[in-house]
Amino acid sequence: MGKFNNKISAEFHPPRKWILERLLSYKNDDIDNKALEAVGVGGKENEIRCTKGFVTDLASVPRAIWWLIAPWDIARAAIIHDLLYKTIRVYRANGGNDKKVICAAKKAADKVFLMAMKDAEPSVPKWKIYSAYYAVVLFGRWSIIPRKED
């Protein structure tokens, strides 16, 4: 079982950015450190750390379905996941093109997202957890393509 260090403290910057005002971390002994370290996620203590100043969009949920799953329903897990995907994008932008490494890192990042949603307090309903998880498994491949702002 994993644990977050804190609740989110972030400032909204329209139209879709949030900037963390303090550290947000997630720790779980089941994190696949080997796959994540290969793309540059440091730390061997099974902890993912989003530092103060990290920019996120919370969860990339299309506005049309916010009535079903809103970004704040899964926000802490989504912020941790955003950091992991950003790290994969940076790895790729810096010439990392080993498809096995990229695939393993994406799979590990998606698993962290799943575990973090399960460990969230207040708890997230299972149907929301698995809907969000399978959405990133299916559609997340476009989110690990390098971007100009990375």
**How far is 72 from 120, CA to CA, in rounded Å?**
12
Per-residue pLDDT tens listing for the chain (150 residues): 899 999 999 999 999 899 999 999 999 999 999 999 999 997 668 999 999 999 999 988 888 888 888 888 999 999 999 999 999 999 999 999 999 999 999 999 999 999 999 999 999 999 999 999 999 999 999 999 998 877
Global pTM reads: 0.94
Residues 6+ apart with CB under 8 A from 39: 87, 88, 90, 91, 96, 101, 102, 105
Q: Is the separation of the CB atoms in 50 and 83 below 8 Å?
A: yes
Helices 126-139 & 99-119, crossing angle to 10 degrees? 170
**How far is 140 from 150, CA to CA, in rounded Å?**
17
